[in-house]
Structure 1
Amino acid sequence: MTGEFELIARHFARPAQSAQVSIGIGDDAAALIPSAGATLLVTTDTLVAGRHFRSDVPAEALGWKAAMVNLSDLAAMGATPGWLTLAMTLPEADDNWVAAFAEGFRAAAQSVGAELVGGDMTRGPLTIGVTALGETLDAPLRRCAAQPGDELWLTGCTGEAAAALAALSEALPVDERLLQRLDRPTARCAAGRAARGLAHAAIDVSDGLLADLEHMLKASAVGAQLRADALNATPAMQVLASALSASPDPWIWTGGDDYELLVAVPPARSQTLVSIWAEQGLSPVHIGRVVDGEGLSWQGDAPAVDPVSSGFRHF
């Protein structure tokens, strides 16, 4: 009979990849050695079947996304990712499913230089809990330091993941790029490190652009003026919007699951940062600026969205 210990040993236990891991998977706890003088950053996220992912998502893609959504939080603070722990609650000990999940999880971690160092496995409704740890030798980026006059920049476009979800909910064919953006997001770790020391503030766009911008604005006690025409629907989004007789604006501004970074950067430094991002293969977008006061205003015709109720909410 296959149990949790067999699954862990077969699919997750691997020799440590870094000298900073003195004890890895297989003991009661991992032992890590942070770099001298580094600040350790820790984030935890939980993914619940039917709430954060659909039940038929491929196991490999789910493994990839489970790692990436946590690594994205480290990216937003300019951290270098180091280690992950994984807590899995599974309805059954499906060896093939766990093998595929582990493959995706490991590939995501390795793509940014991180490794799995421990966790837990038990039986119950499908739930994935991940803790990600990273470090930085400089002050980490935060949400609370945006200043009036800062430019607001995104590492890339938003709305494609939400468009994919809309297509799936209507049982429509899904463009492959849209589906990739939903199921296999990429944490912008290198972009976050580049922003450290240049940007005043940063946040990752996970719950929706307007919702996450609001978190930054409230934490910084400032407002923002946004360019209504800054973000446009991609061709695949336009095709889907026409099929649904819908506007793509809610996907773009409130959809979530994008995992791009949003930064507030002084104008004197913005082109330096944008050039670095472009060299990394990204397509940065200038969406507006930080202003005195509070709340949002629009330059141009405001999109058809409700900023008050925008974004993903767990309750």
Structure 2
Amino acid sequence: MNTTALCLSRQRVRQWLQRAGRARLLVVGDLMLDQFVWGHVHRISPEAPVPVLEFVRESFMPGGAANVARNLTALGARATVVGVVGNDAAGRQLKDLLAAEKVDTSGLLTLYDRHTSIKTRIIAHQQQVVRLDRETRGDLSASATRRLLEALRRHLDRVDAVIVGDYGKGVVTQPLLDELKRWCRERGLWLSLDPKPVHRLDLSRLSLITPNRKETFELAGMSDGARGLPPMQDAPLLQAARELLQRLQPALLLVTLGEQGMLLCRRDQPPLHIPTVAREVFDVSGAGDTVIASFTLAIALGASPVEAAIFSNHAAGVVVGKVGTAAVTPEEMLASFAPPRA
């Protein structure tokens, strides 16, 4: 496909954004609270050869599947999140943050035997220095999974598409995914999933999977030996994509490639490379959440797969220009489709 065919009119994007409020999406998966500690470094500690961060401020944002839901509502869609939090301050804070973002939290379960996942990022001079993870990673119990499935069943008949955010923290188990796939097939619902290869699941016959490059090779059981080549000349990448299409048989495979953009792969069609539109890259935290949210929303609004990929590529280009887990607004999306100034 030539470059001209990769164009998406600003008017079409505006129409989707104006209709976004009609779209209802369900997000299920591992919820997290993202904490950012911001400061300045001016000296090295006398106690050890490490920088001393002078605290300036801290901020909290929804992370993981919660960030997927936040990205949907930021674009004007209606989103319900299904998942678990602990009976702790972080869980209560995450619920409050989601409510402030207009995300429906009626599908959240509070569990007394788990901690809410918290990812603390230390930022010095706009650069991440270190990340601290506090989380429970074991699979949910059978009884907790049953309660989640009950919450899912209550909402499925009222949504247009479903997104699964698997971050390997134990919420997305095989029994849950099997039931969800079956229910979505019965209802003709679109089902997207962002995979974590470390968490071995049967990912066959989904509507969309969105691995990054590293995850693509891991899922295919291959070694990545050709990094840096243009995607359409990258034989190992193309082979790994073909392997996933053949073995998992998704309707669509969207491989995110960072500064190289993304690769849209469909059965019985040649792969399509979509170059990045990002002008500056400050932070890639949560960019994958933005991609799967915006792509699935575009599909729910009637976009073709190519149009949805272009739409999500622009959304990702906006959020990587921000520091911290971020979302894109309708105004920013429209601006990203504006013709370049002469």
Same fold (TM over 0.5): no
Q: Which has the higher contact order (CA 8 A, sep 6+)?
A: 1
